[in-house]
């Protein structure tokens, strides 16, 4: 029996293809080497709401595959789009299986802080400064001479934001975190822990029997991409193993198949670690 088509769906601020670049870096090639004959990448609104993104996901699945179902591999917010489509749209008619990679089904504290920097007070300056110290101590081994300029800027802005919180001045922190995450758009509220807890129940009843599997990433905050420095420090301060943006707990479904030593970008091949074995495992796990 021929394998069902595979659809790759990207996360927040993502894309399907951009010139010579694929959001899922070399993933289609890896899947083709395993025997996949139809692999498609969709391109939904990068900053859209779950309702808009899931509607586009459904439409583009049908553009590529006019009838029948697909195996869906979703990264980050793409997993939320997919789950929303199953629970509130026609996802059961489209999706045979859903495999998520670093999808924040229980939200992320990074989004909570971007939405309202006063949430930093839930941690307290002690935990935040301790996380900064851990980052800097670990960084001494990674950058024995000097941290990359982007990291230096992030640490300076982060420290300044924390210092201003002591006087209940949240304006600087708000400007910094919202600019950092580019979250002044409909996606901001969607990714908070409160919203995700309302949309996606822990018993996974909203998935309505669609077979699912999840993967997550976890590594030391200082080892994450420079783009993820601030959220990695936040989540470390919150005591959550994470991929620099999403806690492992948030990314884990009941059928959790693995936690890789990569950051959020590394889950889709943008990092120094080869994750092709993960996608081989995903392909091997598809029902015949």
pLDDT in tens, the chain (288 residues): 458 999 999 998 887 877 778 999 999 999 999 999 999 999 999 888 999 999 999 999 999 999 999 999 999 999 999 999 999 999 999 999 999 999 999 999 988 888 887 788 788 888 888 998 898 888 888 877 777 777 887 788 777 777 777 666 666 666 666 666 555 566 778 899 999 999 999 999 999 999 999 999 999 999 999 888 888 999 999 999 999 999 999 999 999 999 999 999 999 999 999 999 999 999 999 987
Question: Phi first, then psi: what are they for 154, rounded to 5°?
Answer: -60, -45
- Which option is the CATH number for 6-107+193-218+247-285: 3.20.20.140, 3.40.309.10, 3.40.50.1820, 3.40.50.300? 3.40.50.1820
Distance separating alpha carbons of residues 215 and 105, to the nearest angstrom: 12
* Bridge partners, residue 41, by sequence: 8
Domain layout of the chain by residue ranges? 6-107+193-218+247-285
CB atoms within 10 A of CB 171: 10
Q: Could you tell me which residues come within 8 angstroms of residue 33 by beta carbon, excluding any fewer than 6 positions away?
A: none
How many Cα atoms sit within 13 Å of 48 on the Cβ side? Answer: 19
Q: Model pTM?
A: 0.92
Distance in angstroms (rounded) separating the CA atoms of residues 94 and 84? 13
Are 191 and 104 contacting, i.e. CB atoms less than 8 angstroms apart?
A: yes
Q: Tell me the angle at which helices 149-165 and 124-142 cross, rounded to the nearest 10 degrees.
A: 170
Specify the 3-state DSSP secondary structure of 17. Answer: strand
């Amino acid at each position: 029996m021929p394998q069902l088509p595979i659809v790759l769906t990207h996360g927040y601020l993502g894309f399907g293809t951009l010139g010579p670049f694929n959001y899922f870096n070399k993933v289609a090639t890896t899947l083709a080497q395993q025997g996949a004959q139809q692999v498609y990448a969709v391109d939904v609104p990068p900053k859209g709401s779950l309702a808009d993104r899931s509607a586009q996901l459904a439409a583009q699945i049908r553009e590529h595959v006019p009838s029948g179902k697909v195996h869906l591999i979703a990264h980050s917010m793409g997993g939320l789009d997919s789950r929303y489509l199953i629970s509130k749209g026609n996802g059961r008619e489209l999706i045979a299986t859903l495999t998520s990679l670093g999808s924040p089904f229980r939200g992320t504290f990074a989004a909570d802080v971007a939405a309202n920097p006063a949430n930093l007070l839930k941690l307290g300056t002690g935990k935040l400064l301790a996380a900064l110290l851990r980052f800097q101590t670990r960084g001494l081994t990674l950058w024995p001479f000097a941290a990359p300029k982007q990291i230096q800027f992030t640490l300076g802005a982060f420290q300044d934001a924390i210092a201003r919180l002591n006087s209940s001045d949240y304006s600087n922190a708000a400007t910094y975190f919202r600019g950092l995450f580019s979250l002044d758009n409909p996606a901001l509220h969607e990714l908070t822990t409160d919203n995700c807890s309302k949309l996606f129940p822990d018993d996974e009843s909203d998935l309505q029997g669609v077979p699912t599997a999840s993967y997550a990433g976890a590594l030391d905050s200082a080892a994450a991409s420079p783009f993820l420095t601030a959220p990695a420090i936040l989540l470390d301060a919150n005591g959550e193993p994470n991929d620099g943006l999403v806690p492992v707990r948030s990314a884990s479904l009941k059928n959790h198949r693995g936690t890789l030593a990569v950051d959020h970008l590394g889950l889709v091949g943008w990092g120094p670690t080869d994750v092709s074995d993960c996608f081989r495992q995903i392909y091997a796990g598809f029902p015949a």
